């Protein structure tokens, strides 16, 4: 199984934070830079999202509501059910991180890429992922306030205010300015992609630097990490089954079921890490650990499923010969 290179960069960043954590004035500078990076990240999200495409996608509202229900209802219900595993399999801090994982929005890029590979409904995956990310800016903090409360790192009205200022306001600013900066963002997509990924690395470094001050590695043992991976594997398997067979029960066709499965069973590392930094503060390092592990797991498992769905589609409808290629075949994108 290939490992996402970005996961290796994230792990390397965690290692740097463990060996050379930001302290004193350096910690203050890193914290300020992280705050600015998060705001810029969500500004770019707003500038990239096409309002017209989002409105056009509303016509497939049943599919989008299904994905939103999977992301913000079924996932949190399973997260709450995992409370019974504390303290037998999970420590309370790791459970808080696991529960937070179930609250974050779905992915966009990897959902689109896997849906494309599996020959599913790509436009639906684009809209479903976009709607989930947009809803998550508001829904995730509200769910965190209700389900995590003060035990989740001190969530309060002040935390909600920081969410609005650091996430929602920059996002709306990006949407408002998209008319003028949209072409520039499209032309420099690769460069800005490196910028937003670098911003997330900075967020991770700051979070784990603060975690070192809190003694994070004294709180997590190898057996506990193994137990967490096992729980996350079960969580992913349950959601993959529910999205696939649930889509069939709701009367969706094969292409739509593929989009529902890939958009409804995954969680966004790109959105979750900045949100955790804002919501959990100094406790963010433990909160994002389950999300980082789940992210790599979902990429590996969904890559296998997507290729299997593609083989099934080819057996049912063989592709034309190489001499007569089909125009507009889906291309594999960057997995995030």
**What is the separation of C-alpha 81 from the centre of its chain, rounded to a whole number of angstroms?**
21
Q: CA torsion 314→316→317→321, rounded to 10°?
A: 50
CA atoms within 13 A on the CB side of 288: 32
Looking at the whole model, is its pTM more than 0.85? no
For 257, the token pair is: 């079921």
Model pLDDT for residues 214-225, shown as the tens digit of each residue: 666 667 788 988
Q: Name the band, by pLDDT with cuts 50, 70 and 90, for residue 331.
A: very low
Instruction: Identify the CATH number of the domain defined by range 5-309.
Output: 1.20.1530.20
Q: Where are the domains of the chain?
A: 5-309
Higher pLDDT, 60 or 156: 60
Scored b (16 or more CB within 10 A) or e, 136-147 reads bbebbbebbbeb
CA R_g for the chain: 20
Which one, of 44, 42, 334, 13, lies nearest residue 192 by Cα? 44
More confident residue, 233 or 175: 233
Q: 336 and 270 in contact (C-beta within 8 Å)? A: yes
Q: Indicate the pLDDT class of residue 332, thresholds 50, 70 and 90.
A: very low
Q: Reply yes or no on whether the pLDDT at 276 is more than 70.
A: yes
Find all residues with CB under 8 Å of 101, minimum gap 6, and list them: 79, 232, 267, 272, 290, 291, 294
3-state secondary structure of 126: helix
Range of weakest confidence among 144-153, 260-269, 303-312 = 144-153
Alpha helices in 188-283 (DSSP H): 189-213, 222-249, 254-264, 269-280
pLDDT score for 294: 92
Q: What is the mean pLDDT of residues 216-238?
A: 88
Region 59-74: mean pLDDT is 92
What's the rounded Cα separation, in Å, for the pair 190 and 185?
9
- % of the chain at pLDDT higher than 90: 26
Let me know if 281 is exposed, middle or buried by CB neighbors in 10 A (0-12, 13-18, 19+). middle
Contacts of 167 (CB under 8 A, 6+ apart): 38, 39, 42, 137, 274, 275, 278
Location of structure tokens 């900075």: 202
């Amino acid at each position: 199984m290939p490992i996402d290179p970005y996961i290796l960069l994230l792990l390397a960043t965690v290692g740097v934070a463990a060996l050379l954590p930001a302290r004193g004035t350096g910690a203050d500078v890193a914290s300020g830079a992280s705050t600015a990076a998060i705001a810029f990240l969500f500004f770019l999200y707003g500038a990239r999202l096409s309002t017209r495409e989002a409105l056009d996608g509303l016509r497939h509202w049943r599919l989008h509501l299904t994905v939103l229900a999977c992301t913000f209802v079924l996932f949190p219900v399973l997260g709450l059910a995992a409370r019974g595993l504390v303290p037998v399999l999970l420590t309370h801090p790791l459970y808080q991180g696991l529960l937070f994982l179930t609250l974050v929005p779905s992915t966009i890029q990897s959902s689109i890429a896997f849906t494309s590979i599996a020959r599913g409904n790509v436009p639906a995956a684009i809209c479903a992922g976009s709607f989930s990310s947009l809803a998550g800016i508001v829904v995730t903090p509200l769910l965190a306030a209700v389900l995590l409360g003060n035990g989740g790192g001190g969530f309060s009205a002040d935390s909600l205010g920081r969410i609005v200022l650091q996430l929602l306001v920059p996002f709306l600013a990006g949407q408002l300015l998209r008319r003028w900066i949209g072409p520039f963002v499209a032309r420099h997509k690769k460069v800005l992609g490196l910028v937003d990924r670098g911003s997330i690395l900075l967020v991770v470094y700051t979070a784990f630097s603060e975690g070192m001050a809190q003694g994070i590695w004294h709180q997590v043992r190898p057996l506990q990490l193994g137990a967490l991976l096992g729980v996350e594997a079960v969580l992913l398997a349950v959601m993959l089954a529910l999205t696939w067979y649930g889509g069939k029960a709701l009367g969706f066709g094969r292409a739509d079921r593929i989009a529902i499965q890939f958009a409804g069973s995954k969680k966004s590392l790109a959105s979750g890490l900045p949100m955790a930094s804002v919501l959990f503060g100094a406790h963010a390092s433990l909160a994002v650990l389950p999300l980082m592990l789940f992210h790599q797991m979902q990429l590996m498992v969904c890559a296998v499923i997507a290729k299997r769905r593609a083989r099934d589609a080819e057996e049912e409808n063989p592709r034309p010969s190489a001499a007569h290629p089909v125009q507009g075949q889906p291309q594999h994108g960057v997995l995030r």
